[in-house]
Amino acid sequence: MKIAVTYEDGMVFQHFGHTQQFKLYEVENGAVQNEQVVDTQGSGHGALAGFLTQYDVDTLLCGGIGGGAQNALAAAGIQLYGGISGNADEAVSAFLAGTLAYNPDVHCGHHEHGHDCGAHSCGEKAHIRKKENLTMELANYFKSIIDEDRCAVVICNLSHEILYMNPAAVARYEKRGGQALIGQSLLDCHNTQSAEMIKKVVLWFGECADHNRIYTFYNEKENKDVYMVALREADGTLIGYYEKHEYRNKETAKRYDFSVKI
């Protein structure tokens, strides 16, 4: 077992997404065999899940943590124990003894409307209501852009659950169920090899906020390239992904032909 603790001056740091260090504990037979403090090298929020996988971490102890980062940890197979405060070494000892007090429903309030982060303030301002209202107003514009895309767009969360399919995707996958695929796992729609590659891509997205687009396939029959694209919150937290198709063929439609609906 390898345990990571958000770390600052011997204490459990209270905001996972802003921690600058982790203290790592290698455990064998219920006892700590080795300890190491590592810098996060500027990684933050969901990208930290990818950072921890590089150190083979399977368990995380922390204070507050946002929903997007929790999803990224789950996708990476890292068990979370949040809402913890106090001395880091003592927290690990309590965890190994089975006496650690933690909050299974922990969240970082700055991702919503308050300031609570674990047992302390996370130091972030609450989202401004005006900005939230603007985002809601823009949602219909964003949806319209996706719906009018002639290429299939399938949006998934970090658990690979299909959240949305635009009309082109519904039509394309009609034989597989079309609209009924929403709520199902995208992995179940692929063979074993493809499903494993999808998992690897999502882990790669989680490694760095700059990992946002990767070329996955060329569809020779339809002459188009296929990509996977990361979906992130404004702070860079990975929240999901979608598949993007791009045609290579030259457009044959008549330009500015207002007599037909394209």
Q: List the chain domain ranges.
A: 2-121, 136-247
Instruction: Indicate whether this model's pTM tops 0.85.
Output: no
Q: What are the pLDDT digits (tens) for 25-36?
A: 999 988 999 999
Question: 240 versus 109: which is more confidently predicted?
Answer: 240
pLDDT band at residue 260 under the 50/70/90 scheme: low
pLDDT, residue 128, reads: 41
What residues contact 250, with CB distance under 8 A and at least 6 apart?
none
pLDDT at 130 over 80: no
Q: What are the pLDDT digits (tens) for 216-230?
A: 888 888 888 888 999
DSSP class of residue 176 equals G
Query: How far is the C-alpha of 43 from the C-alpha of 40, rounded, in Å?
Result: 6
pLDDT at 127 over 70: no
Asked whether the beta carbons of 16 and 64 are under 8 A apart, the reply is yes
3-state secondary structure of 188: helix
**Residue among 133, 127, 123 at smallest CA distance from 111:** 127
- Scored b (16 or more CB within 10 A) or e, 92-114 reads bebbbeeeeebeeebbbbbbeee
pLDDT band at residue 261 under the 50/70/90 scheme: low
Q: What are the pLDDT digits (tens) for 165-213?
A: 999 999 988 988 988 999 999 998 888 998 999 999 998 888 888 889 9
pLDDT, residue 114, reads: 41
Q: How remote is the C-alpha of 123 from its chain's centroid?
A: 22
Q: What is the mean pLDDT of residues 34-57?
A: 81
User: Which residues share a beta bridge with 34?
Assistant: 26
Tokens standing for 172?
Answer: 């394309």
Query: How far is the C-alpha of 53 from the C-alpha of 79, rounded, in Å?
Result: 12
pLDDT at 100 over 70: yes
Radius of gyration in angstroms for the set of CA atoms belonging to the chain, rounded to a whole number: 22
The torsion of the CA quartet 166, 167, 171, 175, rounded to 10 degrees, works out to 50
Long-range contacts of 79-82 (CB under 8 A, 24+ apart): 82/16, 82/106, 82/118
Question: 103 versus 113: which is more confidently predicted?
Answer: 103
Query: How far is the C-alpha of 191 from the C-alpha of 188, rounded, in Å?
Result: 8
Query: How far is the C-alpha of 145 from the C-alpha of 147, rounded, in Å?
Result: 6
What are the backbone angles phi and psi of residue 161, rounded to the nearest 5°? Answer: -75, 130
Domain 2-121, what fold? Answer: Nucleotidyltransferase; domain 5 (3.30.420)
CATH number of 136-247: 3.30.450.20
pLDDT at 90 over 90: yes
